[in-house]
Amino acid sequence: MEDLGDRLKATTLLRSPIRQEEASMGVNAAEPGTETDDRTTDPLELFFDLVFVFAMAQVTQLMLAEGSWLGLGRGALALTAVWWAWVCYAWLTNTTADAGVAARILTIAAMAAMLVAGIALPDAFGDRALVFAVAFLCVRLVHLVLLVLETGQSREQRSAAIRLVPTMLAGPCLILIAAFLGAPYRELVWILAALIDLGGPLVIGVGGLRVLPRYFVDRHGLIIIIALGESIVQVGTGANQDLSQPGVLAAVVLALLIAGQLWWSYFSLTDAAQARLVSTDGSERNRLARDAYSYLHLLIVAGIVFFALGAHQAIDTVFDPLHLLPAVALTGGVALAYAGDVAYRWRDHHRIATDRLIAAAASAALIAPALFAPALLTLTALVSIGAVRIVWETRHPPTAAVEPQAT
C-alpha cells in the first residue's frame, strides 16, 4: 500500500489535459441546465478511490494465482463486483457537492470495509470467501446509509434511489450466500449477483437521479487512469527479477507504450464526451450516463486489467511463445479495451470510431500468432497497431458533433 498514494497523486497531475480539452470545446459550466457543472472530483473522492486501486490490483493477483480459465472467469466476476461498488459511489457523490462530517466518517468506514474485501479478494472463491462477502456487504450498506443522507432534501432523487435499493442489496447478499457453497454453485451465484447488480438500473431506470456532466466525465477518466496505473504496476512486478536482460527491458518499454496508446485512445475524445452530456438533459442525460459510463466503461477497464495480466506473464517469458490463456489475456485484453472504447463512442455520439474498431480486430487477430512467436514480438506487434492508429488519428482528427439526442 505504500506506493498507492504516489500513484493516485499521479492521476491528479494527469487531469490537466482533460481540462484543456474541455476549454477548447467551449463548454461553459454556467450554461443553463448544467446545474453546478463546475464541480470536479474532490480530495475525499480521490482518497476514497485508493481502496479501488488496491482492489483492482488484487483482481489481477487472483487471476495470476490461479493461472487457469476458471481463474480468468473468477477474476471477471470479482472485477464486476468491484466495479459496480465503485459505480454506486460515483453516482452517489455525483449527487451531492458537499460532504458533511457524517458523510466523511461513513465514507472512511466504507473505505475500511472495501480494504478488507480487497485483502480477501484473491481468495474470494476459497478460504476467504466469507470475509470478502461480509466486508463487501458492509460497503454496500454504508452506501445505502449515505444515499439516504445525501438525497434527503430532494424527494425526486430519494424516490429514484429507493427504487434501486432492492437490486443494490440483492447482489451482495447473494455473494454472502455463495460463501457457503462450493464450486460450481458458488460461481453460478456470483453470476446471478452480477446480473442483478447490472440489470437493476436497466430494468428499473435511473430517472430522477442527477448527473453533473463535468464531474461524471472527470470521475470516470480518473478510474481509467487508475486501471492503466495498475497495468503499469503489473509490468513492473513482472520484470522485477530480470532487469539485467535487454529483452526484458525492451518488453517493459513496449508494455508501457501499449498502456500509453490505450490512454491516448480514451482521452483524445474526452472533451466531446462532456459536451454531449451537457447537450442532453433530464432522463436522456441519465440514460446516457448509465449506458456510456456505468456499463460500457466496464469493458474498457476489463480490457486493461486483462492486458495487465497478459503483460505480466509476457515479460516473465519474454523470449518464449505465450500459452493460450496469457495470449488471450494480452492481445484479447487490448482488443477489448479498444472495442469498449468503440462502444462507448457509439453510445455517446452515434458514430463508429473506425480506427479503434480496426485496432481491436487487429489486436484480437494476434492471439493465434502469439502462441508461436516470442512474447517480445507479440508486444511489438501490439505497439505497431497502436502506433498506426495514432498516426491515422493525427492525420484525420476525430470529430463528434455535439447535438442534443432525441428523447
| Span 62-112, pLDDT tens digits | 998 888 899 999 999 999 999 999 998 888 877 655 567 888 888 899 999
Q: How far apart are CA 320 and CA 371, in angstroms?
A: 9
**Which three cell numbers, joined as nine digits, stand for 61?**
493477483
pLDDT at 151 over 80: no
Instruction: Please give the mean pLDDT across all residues of the chain.
Output: 84
Residues 173-210 as b or e (16 or more Cβ within 10 Å = b): ebbbebbeeeeeebbebbbbbbebbbebbeeebbebbb
Judge if the upstream peptide bond of residue 246 is cis by omega within 30 degrees of 0: no
Could you tell me if 135 and 116 are in contact, meaning their C-beta atoms sit under 8 angstroms apart?
yes
pLDDT band with cut points at 50, 70 and 90 for residue 365: very high
* pTM score: 0.85
For the cut 70, the answer to whether the pLDDT of residue 336 exceeds it is yes
Would you say 56 and 230 are in contact if contact means Cβ atoms under 8 Å apart? Answer: yes
Cβ of 328: how many Cβ atoms within 10 Å? 21
Average pLDDT over residues 236-241: 74
What does the alpha-carbon distance between residue 3 and residue 5 come to, in Å, rounded to a whole number? 6
pLDDT, mean of residues 343-359: 91
DSSP states along 23-76: HHHT--TTSTT--STT----HHHHHHHHHHHHHHHHHHHHHHHH-SHHHHHHHH
Residues 6+ apart with CB under 8 A from 18: 217, 218, 221, 267, 270, 271
Q: Which three cell numbers stand for residue 47?
A: 482518497
When mean pLDDT is compared across 16-20, 148-152, 206-210, 226-230, the lowest value belongs to: 16-20
Q: How confident is the model at residue 204 (pLDDT cuts 50, 70, 90)?
A: confident
Q: What are phi and psi of 164, to 5 degrees?
A: -90, -10
Q: Which three cell numbers stand for residue 206?
A: 435511473
Look up residue 29 and give its three cell numbers: 459550466
Dihedral angle over CA of 328, 221, 137, 307, nearest 10? 10
The answer to whether residues 350 and 98 touch, using CB atoms and an 8 Å cutoff, is no
Q: What is the pLDDT of residue 400?
A: 54
Q: Tell me how far apart the alpha carbons of residues 11 and 222 are, in angstroms, rounded to a whole number.
A: 6
Q: How would residue 396 be classed by pLDDT, with cut points 50, 70 and 90?
A: confident
Residue 126, amino acid = G
* Per-residue pLDDT reduced to its tens digit, 266-309: 998 777 788 888 888 778 888 999 999 999 999 999 999 999 99
